[in-house]
A and B are shown apart, each in its own frame.
Chain A
Amino acid sequence: MSERPVFAELPRRRRTLWGDAWRRLIASPTARLGMAIVVTFVLGTVLAHFLWPYDPKTDLDYSLKLKPPTLRPTPDVPSIHPFGTDKLGRDVFRRVVHGGWNSLRVGVISVGISLIVGGLLGLLAGFYESVPLTAGERMGLMAGIGLALGSVPAWIAAQPVQAVLFAALGALSASVAVSWPNGRRWRILPLAGLLIGAVPSFFVSPYVALVNGLLGLTIGGILVFPLGGPLFSNIVMRVMDIILAFPSILLAIAIVAFLGPGLDRAMIAIGFVGIPTYARLMRATVLSLVQRDYVLAAQAVGSGHTRILFRHILPNTLSPIIVQSTLGLGSAIIWAGALGFLGLGAIPPEPEWGAMLGDSYRFLTSGAWWAVTFPGIAIMLSVLGFNLLGDGLRDALDPRLTR
């Protein structure tokens, strides 16, 4: 008989943030359902892609076109087609399974594009909106602004050197000239801009020199102001607002309509229209984190901005980003389906759920329900799975929202 107290025998449960979140996640029946759907969908399509080869180009049999679902061979239809066949006699089940690979690819890659571009923009915008720039960063920013603004006169005169000179002027304004009194800044910088714009342009034509001189004067005037992080954040968010001024699915359709159909183009378009969502989410999250004690502490001990951004802030933005990406995968699958349905997604023999619907819906009136029903159910179920999982993750990762 041991003398030790009973509680010492119990293994001490180690608690971690992610461990707790995981336990909360699997405690919710809807999240479990979502996870089951997502795992089935991902495993099924990935296994089928690698272990069950399918060549859409040779998979035709006109003698079997538009046959209803069969579960055992009959004299009429010797092969088994659990979901029936489509207008070219292709097995709908097989195409639904392989179509999943394309939907999954579109989802992952387009969310990846929006996440990386939007996330990075939002991270920088949110951080520099509230944290003052270091001297070096301000120099870089103002040189960048000078370069961007200066590229207009440089283009007009066809002299790239002008853009470089304006960049140098920006850097100068942020470094040496920072200690100058205001009056001196106002006298020297616009004048320098005027000279940079007008003098090299004079070799092209006096008219160009006139226009570029005026432009240079303006740019010099802009560079007088000590432009800082809030300006950068403002520019980024205004651009995001412009993209958000379009209903996203409309912009995606328009982009692919002009680019021409194709799965890769669909990915780019869906990824592009998703950028503002992640940028806004990331910025809002970063803004709420920047004033936390641990970030202030890191600043106080003199950590560099890069280190603070990637070691202290980025890891703490993960939970909203994970939730948004899971939900985003669902909507990317729907949008890919919509593009495919409109004939803008996968190029024909390639199996894709939306394109399968677009192929077969004309035969609905003649009673061929199976060729339309099953691809649609596949879209709905997989999206439902991601949405259930996303909702579950939101509750699991942010316990303050529940009860």
Chain B
Amino acid sequence: MRYLIRRLLSLIPTLLGVTIIVFLLLRLIPGDPAVAMLGEHASQENVQRIREQLGLTRPLFLDREALKQGDFKGFLDSQYLRFLGRLVRGDLGASIHRRIPIAQELAQRFPATVELALAAMAVAVAVGIPIGIISAARRNTWIDSVSMVGALVGVSMPIFWLGLMEIMLFAVILNWFPIGGRLDHAIEVRRITGLLLIDSLVTGHWAAFWDAVKHLAMPVLALATIPLAIIARMTRASMLEVLQEDYIRTARAKGLHQRLVLFRHALKNALLPVVTIIGLQTGNLLAGAILTETIFAWPGIGKWVYDAIVGRDYPVVQGGTLLIALVFVLVNLLVDLSYAALDPRIRYE
């Protein structure tokens, strides 16, 4: 309990730091941000509108001129504190070009990214952990060598290129899967959770479920490759370490079946470091989604952030970056807490 409170308190400086970094990103733009977003030939009033929206007319952190006059409210009325105040209310500003609220659009698109990331992580865990266990159990056999070389190739894989190769093979040559998108335009699913697989299952819309699976297959395969390879390597290394422990030797000496030793005795302890890796990789999945979603025209956050980068719609890039970072921080918090819950030896004091 005390650990929980301490861990939650340690979030405060991290979150403040995250908001400062995201806020300062706008300062990296060479020249006037408003002009950079709208282009050289923008009208004066448009530039002024953007300056007002972004609060560029105010000082960065504190207004010392206002303080000189004794205006304490004006002293605190700065770009950063305005940004922070709006954030607390869940307001991320509006898109420059489409003039829609960013938070709303992000919420709309978030389920698509989550569905992709969760599906990829599920595949990575479901395939990676068994591969790691088998490699460790059959150490130094051909199965081990093949899967570990495969895992190393997987770690070295640029996923954007893998995605393109999949499109070439499965969509262009074999014509098995659709080339992009999330669902066929002709099909509609009632939105409940926003995760198409779940929504179509709940409503019993089988055609939609099948179509969603077909759309998911290629991006999931691309996105799952790296975490799969990393999980397999980690599981193997961790299993090998646990298998050398005394209690495993005791279990074997008792004459327990190999399978029982592996799954009942070894796996439980070997999975702890794997849980950490799964948490860390979830963040990378969300970030990697920028590449995967762009290739597969997946209507999630990543694709939107990419479009915003191309269109110099900087507030959108800020909002997307902030959302992904917040989710990442939250996932890491959950991993830390589950770690403490899973291993009774760990007592954070």
* Closest B residue to A327 using CB positions: B155
Bound state CA distance, A372 and B160, in angstroms?
A: 11
**Residues 321-353 (chain A) with a chain B CB within 8 angstroms:** 330, 334, 337-338, 341-344
Question: How does the 8 Å CB contact mask read for B257-291 relative to A, with 1 for contact and 0 for none?
Answer: 00000000000000000000000000110111011
**Residues 8-32 (chain B) with a chain A CB within 8 angstroms:** 13-15, 17-18, 21-22, 25-26, 28-30
Give me 17 A-to-B residue pairs in the complex whose CB atoms sit less than 8 angstroms apart, sorted by A's number.
A30-B149, A156-B67, A211-B75, A239-B17, A246-B321, A247-B286, A254-B22, A254-B25, A254-B317, A258-B28, A338-B291, A354-B160, A357-B160, A372-B161, A372-B164, A376-B161, A387-B152
Given A249-B288, A259-B30, A361-B295, A337 and B64 touching (CB < 8 A)?
no
Range class of the A interface residue count: 35 or more
Question: How does the 8 Å CB contact mask read for A205-244 relative to B, with 1 for contact and 0 for none?
Answer: 1111001000000000000000000000000001101110
Task: Decide yes or no whether B134 CB sits under 8 A from chain A.
Answer: no
Please name the 5 residue pairs, one residue from A and one from B, whose CB atoms are nearest each other, closest first.
A242-B17, A376-B161, A247-B287, A250-B287, A258-B28
Q: Are A208 and B156 in contact (CB under 8 A)?
A: no
Q: Are B18 and A342 in contact (CB under 8 A)?
A: no
Task: Decide yes or no whether A257 CB sits under 8 A from chain B.
Answer: yes
Task: Decide yes or no whether B157 CB sits under 8 A from chain A.
Answer: yes
Q: Are B290 and A246 in contact (CB under 8 A)?
A: no
Bound state CA distance, A356 and B69, in angstroms?
A: 57
Binds A, one of B106-114, B187-195, B322-330, B341-349: B322-330
> Chain B: residues with CB nearer than 8 A to chain A?
13-15, 17-18, 21-22, 25-26, 28-30, 62, 64, 67-70, 72, 75, 149, 152-153, 155-158, 160-162, 164-165, 167-168, 172, 179, 283-284, 286-288, 290-291, 294-295, 306, 309-310, 314, 317, 321, 324-325, 328-329, 332
- How many Å from the CB of A161 to the closest CB on chain B? 16
* Closest B residue to A361 using CB positions: B164
Task: Decide yes or no whether A80 CB sits under 8 A from chain B.
Answer: no
Task: Decide yes or no whether A43 CB sits under 8 A from chain B.
Answer: no
Given A361-B295, A376-B158, A342 and B68 touching (CB < 8 A)?
no
> Chain A: residues with CB nearer than 8 A to chain B?
30, 155-158, 204-208, 211, 238-239, 241-243, 245-251, 253-255, 257-260, 330, 334, 337-338, 341-344, 354, 357, 361, 364-365, 367, 369, 372-373, 375-376, 379-380, 383-384, 387-388, 391
A343 — which chain B residues lie within 8 A by C-beta?
309-310
Q: Are B168 and A364 in contact (CB under 8 A)?
A: yes
A334 — which chain B residues lie within 8 A by C-beta?
156, 158
| Among A330, A344, A364, A387, contact of B309 (Cβ-Cβ < 8 Å) | A344
A344 — which chain B residues lie within 8 A by C-beta?
309
A239 — which chain B residues lie within 8 A by C-beta?
17
